Structure 1
Amino acid sequence: MAHRHGQPRRRGPRAGHHLPWRPDARATQHVLAHLRGARGGRPGRARLRAADGDHASARPAAAQRPRSRPQHLVHRRPVHARGPAGQCVGGGRPALASLLARAGGRRLCLRPTRSNRRRALVLPGPPRAPKRPVRSRNVRILVVITKGEAGGAQTHLLELCRALAASHRFLVLIGGAESTPLGNALRASGIEVRAIATLGNSLSPTGALRTVARICDAVQSWAPDVVHLHSGGAGALGRIAAGLCGVPAVYTVHGFGFKDAVPPPRRQLALAVERLLSPLTRHMICVSHHERSLARRLPIPSGRVTVIANGIADSPLRAKPYAARGAVVMVARMAPPKRHDILLAALCVLRSRGLELPPVVLAGGGPGLPALRDMANDLGLGSLVELPGDLADVPALLVRSQVFVLLSDHEGLPISVIEALRAGLPVLASDLPGIRTQLDDGHEGWLTRNNPTEVADALQRLLTNPQMRERMGAAARARYERDFGARAMAARVEAIYQELARLPGSGRTYAP
């Protein structure tokens, strides 16, 4: 049969020539209904969906567009089907319908060929193979922290180094004396530690310059990939040294110094320093969303700020808060912003109400320890309150306790509260933004204002209700298991290390 332009019409292969079986009549009618609906009787750019056993559900396009060509011309136009391998698998109406029926619901489309005289049915190709994950590497991390005494930032650093020491190398620079609780614990874990006597929270220009020089010497001699900084003094001087040496710096914020509770002169100075050092911060880690909201005041891109909650490794020791006799314990450094004085005043309120008081243990060191001991004696609580100083085994202390207390003017994400949650103790704490992310009021414990009467009321509810202590202790343990494990924290920090280690300049030394 001749074409209307005088050229012979090309026919496709015999229907079903390359197929092992012929389609049913319903599938054939479904395909023809779509082919007839194209303009001028030619196959249009229609997407054909072939679902198993549902060929009659497709809307026929012939009822929407007029047909200007005889039906027999449309029927005789060959349609070639191309499979995933790019080869013609059949021609004609039955072959096309068979291919649609075998597609099993896949989306198929008609595409014009180069000659535009026939249409090829193209099956979607196989899915692309996923990209290979970036291979991790052993990263050399230089860690700088202001002090090596017992505290939340020090516990966080110790847990992080222990979790990643098997796959990465650490060198920790600690301000102060050669022998500190943090330094001794790190050395016992096989991590190299060096002391910097001039590193501290003092504002001495000479000491600051010497500290920057010592950090630069460590960067040049040890060639780290990343410099990780903890706490305010180390965070400021360490970022300057890392910027001089061209090594990316990570700064973990355990608590900004420009919070509203900080005195105005100190708050303004801390904000000015952070704004000046923001360009030298390659990545900032905030321990809570409240600290993240404060970081929005700084000129640092939001993509370089990450919230990673503190985490600690699990311990098999569990407290029994429902026990009839147990201690009320507070583990905190005896220095601002901690408020041990409010707890002592609340104990006096409970004594005036005739309540029998349990033993009270105020663990922790600091410059305020002598004054706090004198205050307890003056209030007549000397025989009731125990002040053991810094303790190496805090979990053993929490096991023999029934209530944990933390009163403070401002906090980041206190590690001591996480330790109490891990032990399964109900928590009585100051109502602060960082602590609100650790426990819910009335569920894992009580949140209160820093008022002796309100603290006494909440403490009395806990001491006189063993069932409440047991219920809150179980909820506290569940909260720890859900949110504050060490593995999740270490994995997220490790991902930041791996990202920064691939930047240009990592692992090289530069003259300051």
Structure 2
Amino acid sequence: MKIVYIITRSDVLGGASVHLLDLAKGMIDQGHQVHILVGGEGTFTEELKKNNINFSSLKYLKREISLTHDLLGFWEIKKHLKQLKPDIVHCHSSKAGLLGRLAAKSLNLPVVFTAHGWAFTEGISPTKQKIYAKIEKFLINFSDHIITVSEYDRKHGFKHNVGTPELVQTIHNGVPDIKTSASEKSSSIVRLIMVARFEDPKDQYFLIQALSKLPAHLTWQIDFLGDGPNLQKCQELANHENLDSKIIFHGQSFKVKEFLNLADIFVLISNYEGFPLTILEAMSASLPIIASDVGGVNESVSSENGYLIPKGSVDILVQTLTELIVNTNLRQQLGSNSRYLYETQFSFNTMLQKTFNVYTQVLEKRSLK
């Protein structure tokens, strides 16, 4: 099968781009032809080059709304699709989902869209929610199938009259396996980790505020992986709270696996979410999870493998952090449960197969028309 993927941004390696990178590698390993259309060049295209994945960098596909660029972006995508002649087009991210679906349908190509969290999700102003929901409702007419990465997003779409149960399907994200090694763990200090860009919807600032309230006698250290516009503000807070020796800012890192294998607790504090890949990576590495109870997070985190923190509840976060830092046996039990849940529900191969099944169903349905 010849598959063309379309994604908006190349300048960051976030959840959607990591998901697509893994998905493309998986499809290639199964013998399919893959080509990726992506806006600009950057971190993501560097990873595509390293993995020998065919791609085209688009000049006019940009995240920002611009009538001129968007019109030119539509024609640019259409031109590439005409040349590539794919069996199926699969769009990721909102702008690529808009222009990609319109371009694919103008050529009568079957097209699938994955919503990595709707553009009208929580945290967006009511006015913008209405506008984005109307756009997505319109784009239903140009979609052969829609994948949401969480049940939360699927139901949130229905609440805004976007899609039908027949058209929209949840396929939980899956990530390649990350094996942990107990010998790498440090016994003298409890290592926490948060992997996320320093920008909305994440809230590292709130986590640092909670860390500053931990009992002074606790021995812990946290690794923050990621960069972004809110990084400096968080660094200043850590300095102000005299936590420089305990909080380490690594910036963007391509050694997430190694850091997870060294960690004892995974933390993800957010204002809103879809279905975070980083939680699944941490589960694969047998880590207990502390995460904000937003979006579809509760579909991977429960009392079985961690703690869900109500949004804005600093006292509960402090209490939870303290409990896990102190209790080694609890960390190990929750971490073991994380690994089991990953193996049974969130493996990469499960996600890959379900996605390929969507492609075959779409093509079969097309052939009957």
Normalising by the smaller structure, the TM-score range is over 0.9
Q: How many residues align?
A: 363
1:303 equivalent to 2:155? Answer no
Work out whether 1:411 is the aligned partner of 2:273.
Answer: yes
Q: CA distance change for structure 1 residues 418 and 175 in 2, over 3 Å: closer, same or farther?
A: same
CA deviations on 1:355-387 (whole Å, 9 max, x unpaired) are 334121111122222332223223322332211
- Candidates 158, 183, 186, aligned match of 2:45: 183
CA distance in structure 1 between the aligned counterparts of 2:239 and 2:292, rounded to whole angstroms = 25
Q: Is the 8 A contact 2:202 2:271 kept in 1?
A: yes
1: CA distance, partners of 2:162 / 2:173: 25
Of 115, 121, 132, 1:270 maps to 132
**Paired AA for residue 228 in structure 2:** G
- 2:231 corresponds, among 341, 362, 369, to 369
Contact 2:148–2:171 (CA<8 Å) still a contact in 1?
yes
Deviation at residue 464 of structure 1 after TM alignment: 0.6
The corresponding residue for 1:164 is 27
Change (3 A) 1:326 1:400: farther
**1:302 is paired with a residue of what secondary structure?**
coil
Deviation at 1:425, TM superposition (A): 0.6
Which of 215, 218, 224 is 1:356 aligned to? Answer: 218
Q: Deviations over 1:468-503 (max 9, x none)?
A: 111111111111101111111111111121233346
> AA paired with 1:447?
L
- Name the SS for the 1:215 alignment partner: helix
Out of 135, 149, 156, the residue aligned to residue 287 of structure 1 is 149
- Percent identity of equivalent pairs: 29
3-state SS of 2:37 partner = strand
2:92 partner letter: H
- Equivalence for 1:192: 54
Give me the whole-angstrom Cα distance separating, in 2, the residues matched to 1:439 and 1:200.
34
Q: What secondary structure does 1:203 align onto?
A: coil
Q: CA separation of 1:198/1:366 partners in 2, compared to 1, >3 Å: closer, same or farther?
A: farther
Task: Give CA-to-partner distance per residue, 1:31-55, whole Å, 9 cap, x none.
Answer: xxxxxxxxxxxxxxxxxxxxxxxxx
Alignment of 1:401-440 (within 5 A): 401-440=263-302
Aligned to 2:308: 447
Distance 2:189 2:243 in 1: 18
Give the greater-gyration-radius structure (CA). 1
Give the direction of change, closer, same or farther, for the CA distance of 1:385–1:198 in structure 2 (3 Å limit): farther
Secondary structure of the residue aligned to 2:124 is: coil
Which residue of the other structure, out of 205, 209, 221, is the alignment partner of 2:83? 221
Structure 1 unaligned spans of 5+: 1-138, 506-512
DSSP-derived class of the 1:316 partner: coil
Structure 2 CA distance for aligned equivalents of residues 448 and 497 of structure 1? 37
- For 1:39, the equivalent position in structure 2 comes to none
Structure 2 CA distance for partners of 1:151 and 1:299, relative to 1, 3 Å: closer
Deviations 1:49-104 (A, max 9, x none): xxxxxxxxxxxxxxxxxxxxxxxxxxxxxxxxxxxxxxxxxxxxxxxxxxxxxxxx
Paired residues for 1:194-209 under 5 Å: 194-209=56-71
CA distance in 2, matches of 1:321, 1:279: 52
Take 2:264 and 2:110, find their aligned partners in 1: how far apart are those partners?
45
Matches within 5 A, 1:94-133: none
SS at match of 2:257: helix
Q: 3-state DSSP class of the match of 1:447? A: strand
User: What secondary structure is seen at the aligned counterpart in 1 of 2:135?
Assistant: helix
CA contact (8 A) 1:321 1:470 kept: no
Aligned-pair CA distance for 1:228: 0.5
Structure 1 equivalent of residue 191 of structure 2: 327
Give me the CA root mean square deviation.
Answer: 2.0
Task: Report the AA paired with residue 174 of structure 1.
Answer: V
1:491 corresponds to:
353
Secondary structure of the structure 2 residue equivalent to 1:194: strand
Q: CA-to-partner distance for each residue in 1:204-234, whole Å, 9 max, x for gaps?
A: 1111112111110110110111111111121
In the TM superposition, 1:460-479 aligns within 5 A as 460-479=322-341
CA–CA distance in 1 between the matches of 2:217 and 2:194?
20
Give me the whole-angstrom Cα distance separating, in 1, the residues matched to 2:162 and 2:193: 41
- Equivalent pair of 1:286/1:306 in contact (CA under 8 Å): yes
* Corresponding residue SS for 1:206: helix
What residue in structure 2 maps to residue 312 of structure 1? 175
**Equivalent-residue separation in structure 1 for 2:185 and 2:332 (angstroms):** 6
TM-score, scaled relative to structure 1:
0.68
Which residue of structure 1 lines up, in the alignment, with residue 201 of structure 2? Answer: 337
- Structure 1 segments (4+ residues) deviating >6 Å: none
What is the CA deviation profile of residues 3-40 of structure 1, one whole-angstrom value per residue up to 9, with x for unaligned ones? xxxxxxxxxxxxxxxxxxxxxxxxxxxxxxxxxxxxxx
Alignment counterpart, residue 236 of structure 1, candidates 77, 87, 98 = 98
**Is residue 384 of structure 1 aligned with residue 279 of structure 2?**
no
The separation in 2 between residues aligned to 1:415 and 1:260, in whole angstroms, is 18
1:174 aligns with 2:38: yes
> Is the CA contact (8 Å cut-off) linking 2:60 and 2:76 kept in structure 1?
no
1:354 Cα deviation after fit: 2.4
Q: Is the CA contact 2:189–2:219 (under 8 Å) kept in the aligned structure 1?
A: no
Check whether the contact 1:322–1:469 (CA below 8 A) recurs between aligned residues: no
CA distance in 1, matches of 2:58, 2:319: 46
